[in-house]
């Protein structure tokens, strides 16, 4: 049994840089025709030069694989002139509340400060991609941020706003209130809850931001994905950290899923009898929402078992994937 996906896209991806990028970029390029590349390097990617050179490094790491990096810039108060320069080199601009996640210290401290730039982005048609979390209690952060999305969506009706890596039933609900809102959801948030992270043993390789939420949240996300919600897209938020940064006294946030994302998603959609909705979720929805045409790339999955490696290692880097050592019924051809 085979499943052919046309130009699958990962609409939210962390490739890092240097040796880590050399390890993980080819793994994404083996599965996907393209990905939206997050800009939270140190320092963040925020100028034309940085975008261009990061893109070149990514393409070099991918070798001869067909893979289009949709570059983003780290949100700051860009002037109209800066945005005019950036526009042709980026897919969108990623806004982080300051301190919300890995390497986001330079993020936005108060949304009011960001409005002028957001207004110009709307005029120029540059999508706004948002890490939507408040600085409140960890289980409430996304829900508390929804008021910001509501405010942005109503005041900038022509702005394409993406709620990145949503994790709550409330965010799914909000998606239906505003046509200009769309969202990405990760693999892990369709599968796990806080119980999997901290209900039995504490499992650092399932720890990410936003943190996995309640069963009813997971269920709402899953139903939206399986039902083919047209404004919900797959974005892995695959976020590698070296093993020593995960299995230590202070574990960094991020789940590494890139190399198993498509086999695991195929398994999930098959389990629920919704394989026909997978193409939309991993590509078509994004193409329609953003008006993009990714490189032509057929990715074939076959129904043969795949044992997820206990770790991926190369270039002196070692990263443990989600579900390390588990066996999936599907694998990439």
Give the residue numbers annotated as catalytic, written as ranges.
237
Closest contact distance (angstroms) between CB of 199 and its own copies is 4
C-alpha 322: how far from its chain's center?
15
Three-class SS state of 319: strand
**Is residue 241 within 8 Å of 101, Cβ to Cβ?**
no
Closest contact distance (angstroms) between CB of 177 and its own copies is 27
**Is residue 257 within 8 Å of 238, Cβ to Cβ?**
yes
Distance between CA atoms of residues 94 and 100, nearest Å? 13
Three-class SS state of 6: strand
Cβ closest to its own copies, residue 63 vs residue 199: 199
**Is residue 148 within 8 Å of 132, Cβ to Cβ?**
yes
Closest contact distance (angstroms) between CB of 205 and its own copies is 6
**Is residue 39 within 8 Å of 55, Cβ to Cβ?**
no
Cβ closest to its own copies, residue 66 vs residue 198: 198
Q: Which residues bind its own copies (CB under 8 A)?
A: 137-139, 193-195, 197-199, 201-205, 207, 211, 214-215, 246-253, 320, 324
Distance between CA atoms of residues 206 and 193, nearest Å? 10
Residue with tokens 């046309």: 6
Strand partners, 233: 184
Using alpha carbons, select from 264, 167, 246, 160 the residue that is nearest to residue 213. Answer: 167
Closest contact distance (angstroms) between CB of 129 and its own copies is 23
Spatial neighbors of 191 by CB under 8 A, at least 6 apart, are: 218, 264, 268
Write out the two tokens for 114: 């960001």
**Is residue 65 within 8 Å of 10, Cβ to Cβ?**
no
Cβ closest to its own copies, residue 158 vs residue 244: 244
Cβ closest to its own copies, residue 104 vs residue 285: 104
Closest contact distance (angstroms) between CB of 188 and its own copies is 14
Distance between CA atoms of residues 241 and 251, nearest Å? 9
Cβ closest to its own copies, residue 160 vs residue 209: 209
**Is residue 311 within 8 Å of 318, Cβ to Cβ?**
yes
Closest contact distance (angstroms) between CB of 207 and its own copies is 4
Cβ closest to its own copies, residue 177 vs residue 247: 247
Spatial neighbors of 328 by CB under 8 A, at least 6 apart, are: 260, 263, 264, 267, 305, 306, 308
């Amino acid at each position: 049994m085979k499943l052919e996906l046309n130009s699958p896209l990962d609409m939210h991806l962390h490739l890092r840089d240097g040796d880590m990028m050399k390890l993980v970029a080819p793994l994404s390029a083996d599965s996907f025709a393209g990905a939206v590349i997050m800009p939270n390097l140190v320092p963040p990617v925020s100028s034309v030069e940085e975008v261009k050179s990061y893109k070149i490094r990514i393409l070099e790491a991918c070798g001869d694989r067909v893979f289009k990096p949709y570059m983003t810039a780290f949100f700051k108060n860009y002037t109209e002139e800066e945005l005019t320069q950036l526009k042709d080199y980026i897919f969108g601009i990623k806004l982080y509340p300051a301190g919300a996640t890995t390497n986001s210290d330079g993020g936005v401290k108060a949304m009011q400060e960001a409005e002028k730039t957001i207004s110009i982005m709307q005029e120029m048609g540059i999508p706004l991609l948002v890490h939507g979390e408040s600085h409140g209690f960890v289980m409430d952060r996304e829900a508390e941020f929804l008021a910001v999305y509501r405010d942005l969506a109503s005041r900038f009706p022509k702005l394409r706003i993406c709620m990145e890596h949503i994790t709550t039933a409330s965010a799914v609900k909000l998606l239906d209130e505003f046509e200009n809102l769309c969202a990405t959801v990760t693999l892990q948030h369709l599968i796990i809850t806080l119980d999997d992270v901290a209900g039995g043993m504490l499992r650092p390789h399932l720890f990410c931001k936003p943190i996995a939420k309640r069963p009813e949240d997971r269920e709402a996300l899953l139903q939206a994905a399986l039902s083919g919600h047209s404004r919900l897209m797959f974005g892995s938020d695959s976020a590698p950290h070296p093993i020593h940064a995960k299995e230590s006294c202070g574990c960094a946030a991020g789940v590494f899923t890139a190399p198993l994302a498509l086999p695991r998603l195929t398994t999930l959609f098959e389990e629920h009898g919704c394989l026909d909705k997978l193409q939309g979720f991993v590509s078509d929805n994004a193409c329609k929402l953003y008006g993009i045409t990714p490189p032509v790339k057929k990715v074939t999955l076959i129904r043969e078992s795949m044992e997820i490696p206990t770790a991926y290692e190369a270039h002196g880097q070692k990263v443990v994937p989600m579900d390390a050592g588990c066996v999936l019924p599907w694998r990439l051809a």
